[in-house]
Amino acid sequence: MAHAATDPRLASLADDAIVWASQHGLVVGLGAPPASAPACALVHAPLSVLPVAFPEARFEQAVGCMQLFSGLVDAVARDEDYLEQTLAQAAAFDDFTARLLSLLRDSRPARRAAAAAGREVVLGIHRSDYMLDGPSGGFLQVELNTIASSFACLSTLTGRMHRHLIGRAAGASDAARAAAEALAARLPVNKAMEEIAAAMAAAVEAAGGGVVLMVVQPGERNAYDQQWLQQTLWAAHGVRTVRLTLAQVGTRCEVEGGGGGGELRIRGEGGSKPQRVGLVYFRAGYAPGDYPSEAEWAARLLIERSAAAKCPTAAYQLAGSKKIQQALAALGAVERFVGEEGGAALRGLFAGLWSLDDPSAPETAAVIAEAIASPERFVLKPQREGGGNNLYGEELVARLRQGGPGLGAFILMQRILPPPQRSVLLRNGAWAEEESLSELGIYGTFLRKGEEVLLNRNAGHLVRTKTSTSNEGGVAAGFAVLDSPLLARPGEGLLPAELEGGGPSAPGAAAGGGGVLAAVLRLMD
């Protein structure tokens, strides 16, 4: 059901969303401020005005597997021989992967020294991303992020905004208010901001105290998501944060004694004392553009060689690469790290993944031919993070036909085809009702000191929604908006038609179907 762009009900909801976002810090910067300074020009974050429906049972399945995925990352990262062997082909043709592997090797003596001294502390803030597969009705994993898993704080605020907007939408009658309360109760509480800040504070404590060094990109528009973490760290845990770019790390930081395994310190300026770093938290360093010169690589190596806790280590970053994701889907691979029972649980979320290391191998040649014939069913992924890097359609076909040994730097993946829903998307003060697709991310935190796992927790969620005609899905990259999940059961009229089935309606459900948007508009009638 479409609604005119002048529909006063939608305009009212969009206006309320802008006001709430502006009042509660659900914002991004407009300009490109210095990395260490806050932005001054603000706009509300790209938003969906209302939440999107997901099957409750499938959501719980994804949440239930997050601790397994976090443990998997740690196990893979500790098997450096596996990382080296699995990434060898990709590294031969992808300079960025090769540099990360060199970073791993060059920091190994210092890492072993820190471990021998009982000072090795590693923190993982991971996010496993999924899309609903229309044919099966279940979630399939898009990727597992192990570095700079962003938008946890703005996602927390988005869920609160949606709860507010649904309540405001209700008419004056008791029945309408009761229906709004029942609908809002389907929004799972999201404590991503609090959980991630708590894990960071725990890492600082495990490392012996100090500040959090947040490594950021110059001109970061998404600084407010990061600064919410800074504020929560201070308000809830008394931990201070210092923001530096990799270039600034190179000029302002040093390792005590100049060797490996020593304390990382930020030099004082203007007569101030040096600051001991307890945790280095990377919100940069995940893409080649973050290393424009050798100075940035030297700064990253300085961090890796220090005794400070790191989120992530180079090994954790490599464990989240696309090639590792594909390799773990091979028969028996994931079971090697999490056992048969854990492997069975995780495999239920794996999409089809294929190696391109040897394009002439019969199985590989067959799937390449299939992808060339039906490119709409596949996506070609390089070893890159941050959105906007994948190849689809004609570009996918052209690269597969080009072939060559460099193809081994890519993986081929089943394209997940989620059922579309209707959403009201809000960008820069303007809204539009669109047919949309959504991606769910589940956060997890994992902290280890030496051999002891100090925490392994589920840590909230993220939803990103994009128009159904968009291939990519990154908010920071400009493809998607922030959203939140509303959990539904088949038969309630809230899910896409393909997933509705014939289940009984629950109290407060949207009689008449049409999804979340239609349900909220009925509250306003």
- Per annotation, catalytic residue among 143, 195, 296, 304: 143
pLDDT attached to residue 31: 64
Let me know if the fold of 53-160+183-343+434-501+511-524 is the same as that of 352-415: no
pLDDT attached to residue 225: 97
Any known ligand binding at 291? no
Chosen CATH of 352-415 out of 3.40.640.10, 3.40.47.10, 3.30.1490.50, 3.90.1150.10: 3.30.1490.50
How many angstroms separate the Cα of 359 from the Cα of each of 372, 389, 406, 426, 488?
13, 21, 10, 44, 43
- Per annotation, catalytic residue among 243, 265, 323, 381: 381
Q: Assess contact for 279 and 266: CB atoms under 8 A.
A: no
Any known ligand binding at 383? yes
Any known ligand binding at 389? yes
Any known ligand binding at 308? no
CB-count exposure of residue 37 (10 Å: 0-12, 13-18, 19+): exposed
- Per annotation, catalytic residue among 120, 263, 385, 433: 385
- Per annotation, catalytic residue among 252, 449, 457, 464: 464
pLDDT attached to residue 277: 98
Any known ligand binding at 2? no
pLDDT attached to residue 259: 58
Model confidence pLDDT, tens digit, residues 140-170: 999 999 999 999 999 999 999 999 999 999 9
Confidence of residue 272 (pLDDT cuts 50, 70, 90): confident
| Mean predicted confidence (pLDDT) in 420-447 | 96
Model confidence pLDDT, tens digit, residues 231-240: 999 999 999 9
| Mean predicted confidence (pLDDT) in 291-306 | 98
pLDDT attached to residue 507: 38
> Does the active-site annotation cover 323?
no
| Domain boundary assignment for the chain | 53-160+183-343+434-501+511-524, 352-415
Annotate 407-453 with DSSP letters as a single string. Answer: GGGEEEEEPP-PPPEEEEEEETTEEEEEEEEEEEEEEEEEEEETTEE
Any known ligand binding at 320? no
Any known ligand binding at 108? no
Any known ligand binding at 281? no
| Mean predicted confidence (pLDDT) in 360-383 | 95
Whether pLDDT at 35 is above 60: no
Q: Assess contact for 240 and 308: CB atoms under 8 A.
A: no
- Per annotation, catalytic residue among 127, 163, 305, 448: 127
Model confidence pLDDT, tens digit, residues 315-346: 999 999 999 999 999 999 999 999 999 999 99
Model confidence pLDDT, tens digit, residues 116-134: 888 899 999 999 999 999 8
- Per annotation, catalytic residue among 70, 145, 438, 456: 145
Q: For the chain, what percent of residues have pLDDT higher than 90?
A: 80
Q: For the chain, what percent of residues have pLDDT higher than 70?
A: 92
- Top-level class of domain 53-160+183-343+434-501+511-524: alpha beta
Q: Assess contact for 87 and 409: CB atoms under 8 A.
A: no
- Per annotation, catalytic residue among 48, 70, 128, 150: 150
Any known ligand binding at 266? no
Of residues 470 and 68, more confidently modeled: 68
Per-residue burial over 363-373, b = 16 or more CB atoms within 10 Å of its CB, e = otherwise: ebeebbeebee
- Per annotation, catalytic residue among 163, 243, 310, 322: 322
pLDDT attached to residue 503: 44
> Does the active-site annotation cover 401?
no
- Looking up tokens 């929560």 gives 232
Any known ligand binding at 273? no
Confidence of residue 509 (pLDDT cuts 50, 70, 90): very low
> Does the active-site annotation cover 194?
no
> Does the active-site annotation cover 444?
no
pLDDT attached to residue 385: 76
- Average predicted confidence (pLDDT) for the chain: 92
Any known ligand binding at 145? yes
Strands (E), 223-302: 241-244, 253-255, 264-266, 275-282
- Between strands 264-266 and 309-311, the pairing is unpaired
pLDDT attached to residue 502: 46
Model confidence pLDDT, tens digit, residues 354-365: 999 999 999 999
Any known ligand binding at 130? no
> Does the active-site annotation cover 127?
yes
> Does the active-site annotation cover 296?
no
> Does the active-site annotation cover 489?
no
- Consecutive H or E run containing 106: helix 95-106
> Does the active-site annotation cover 191?
no
pLDDT attached to residue 525: 82
Any known ligand binding at 147? yes
pLDDT attached to residue 2: 43
- Between strands 410-414 and 353-355, the pairing is antiparallel
Rounded Cα–Cα distance for residues 35 and 62 (Å): 35
Confidence of residue 76 (pLDDT cuts 50, 70, 90): very high
> Does the active-site annotation cover 386?
yes
- Consecutive H or E run containing 212: strand 211-215
